[in-house]
Amino acid sequence: MEVTDGTISYAGPRRVAAGHVIDHTADLICPGFIDLHVHGGAGADTMDPDPEALSRLSTYLAAGGVTGFLATTHTAPKEELVAALCRVEAAQRMGTPGAQILGAHVEGPFISEEKKGAQDGGHVRQATEMELDALYTASGATMKIMTLAPEKEDALRAAEWLVERGVVAAAGHTDASYEEALRAFDHGFTHLSHFYNGMRGLHHREPGVVGAGLTDGRVNLELVADGVHVHPAALRLAMLAKGPAKIALVSDSVKPGGLPDGEYGIGGRAVHVKGRSITLRGGVIAGSGIRLIDAIATMVEEAGVALTEAVQMASNTPARILKLTPRKGRLEEGADADITVIDWRYRVLRTIVGGETVYEAEQP
C-alpha cells in the first residue's frame, strides 16, 4: 500500500517505494473500521457537555481499529439532544485526534415504550416535524441515521421526512409486527438497529420485525457481536440469511466501555460493568463494552464467519450504508488512506486515518 497526501495511490504486489516505509509484512492490512452505533467509551459519552469528550472517545476507538464513527445519542429531552448534536457538528468540523467523526446517529426519542430497553422511558415521545427539523438543523446536516419505532404514530411520515434529507431511517426499540415492519420498509426504512435486541422477536406464526429483517432484501442489519447481546447461533443465522454485504457490525459501546469492572453512571442512572456485560441494576442490557475488533473476533471464533467477511462487515458494509464508497471501506487506488492493521490474534497494531497514524500499539 502506498499513500500520497492522505489517499491510497497504489495497492498491489509489493514494489520498491520511495519515502517512509512501515513494514507490516506478517500482519493483516484492512480497510479502516467504521462504527455506525457507538455512544461512548473510556469514560466519555456523546451526550457529555464536556467539549473534549468526543476527542477522548475518538482516541479510544482508534485504539480498537476504528477510523470513523457515528457519535450516537440516546433518548433525552429535546434541549439535551440539540446541544449534543451541536457538539457533534463542531467536533466533526474541527477534527478529532483519533477516529474521524462521520456524523451522528440519533437513537430515540421516538421509540416504543414496550421495547425501550435501557433507554429512559420518561423522555420517549411521538415524532413531530418540528422536533425532527430542530435536531437535523442542530446537527448541521451531519445526522446520518435516526432510530425510531415504525409502529408509532407519525413514524412513517417521519421516515419519509428523513429519507428526503439523506438520513437513514432505522427501525429499533420497536414492537412492530411483521406486517408493520414491511409497511415501514415500503415507507423508506432501510436499516435495523442492534438487530434482535430491543425488538419483537421471531415466532413461527408471527415473524415480527426480526423475521421481516431476515427475509427482506431491502434492509441492512446491525449486529452487536459481543458475546452478550446475541447468541452465536443467532449471529450465524443472520449471516446465513443476509450475508456480509447486508450486515454492519457495531459496538453499541457506552460510557464505561473499556473501564474496569464496577458501578458507573450513565445519564443519571447506575450501570454495572462486569467484563463485556454492562447492565442496569435490574439486569437490563445497557450497551456494550467492546470495540469493533472485538466484534470481528466474536464473529470468527464464535459464529464461524470467515475473517474476510467479518472485516467486510466492519468496514465496507458500513461505508456503503453511509454512501461513502468507494472513498471509504476499500483498499484501492483513490480511496482515503483509512487503514487498520491487525495481527492474527485480533490485536490492533496500527490505525491510520487520512494517511496519518493515530494509534500504534506498543511493542510486546
252 is catalytic: yes
Rounded Cα distance, 180 and 176, in Å = 5
Grid cell at residue 66: 476504528
Rounded Cα distance, 122 and 105, in Å = 20
Residue 276: how many other CB atoms lie within 10 Å: 15
Give the position of cell 467484563. 275
Catalytic-labelled residue, pool 175, 252, 336, 338:
252
Grid cell at residue 203: 415466532
Name the phi and psi angles at 9, rounded to 5.
-100, -15
Grid cell at residue 118: 435501557
Grid cell at residue 198: 430491543
Which residue pairs, CB below 8 angstroms and at least 24 apart, start in 228-235? 228/276, 228/277, 228/285, 228/288, 229/194, 229/196, 229/197, 229/285, 229/288, 230/195, 230/196, 230/197, 232/298, 232/302, 232/303, 232/304, 234/196, 235/298, 235/299, 235/302, 235/303, 235/305
User: Facing residues of 348 across strands?
Assistant: 342
Residues with catalytic annotation? 252
